[in-house]
Amino acid sequence: MIQEMNREAVQQISDEVGKALVVLEQQLGVTITSKGGTYDTLGGTYVMKLEVKLAGEAGEQAALANFERGLRLLGTSVVKPEHYGMAFRAGKGMDGMYTLVGVNVDAWKYPFLGRRSDGKTFKFSQAMIEHTIRVNENMEASA
């Protein structure tokens, strides 16, 4: 029985909700991911943030459609829909591997989203992604 809303209680709640969400995902055919949340020790509340996505092929088609729409709104001629899912290196010493997974047109400075192998998503500038594509194309042309 939870007596106080603290970090340990929130972790226990999150673990139990995560187990219940697995069953719900299977029933509904979606993926549900916990995106953290906030808790108030004085008020005794915990607000969870969840992300619900279409699973499988329907989810991939929706993600690709959003990517294509984002490219049109950005007006880039270098990045094309077929670059969705492209693997690229970034970070200090170019040691991190990322997959191009989205476009956020509201983020004019860093509109491209890349997912690291551990599932964490990072934002990238349009210039960086376009440069990566040009380098890859030049390497393929010279091979």
Chain segment 23-75, per-residue pLDDT in tens: 888 888 888 888 788 999 999 999 999 888 887 777 788 888 889 999 999 88
Written as one letter, the residue type at 101 is V
Q: What CA–CA distance (Å, rounded) separates 84 from 88?
A: 11
Do 73 and 97 belong to one domain? Answer: yes
Tokens 């329907």 correspond to 58
Instruction: Give residue 94's pLDDT.
Output: 60
Q: Are residue 83 and residue 129 in the same domain, yes or no? A: yes
**Residue 2 domain flag:** no
DSSP-derived secondary structure for 30-65: EEEEEEEEEEETTTTEEEEEEEEEE-HHHHHHHHHH
pLDDT of residue 54: 80
Q: Which two tokens stand for residue 132?
A: 């990566």
- 87 and 136 belong to one structural domain: yes
CA dist 29 → 25, 36, 102 (Å) = 5, 22, 22
Give the model's pLDDT for residue 95.
66
Any domain includes 1: no
Q: Are residues 137 and 69 in the same domain?
A: yes
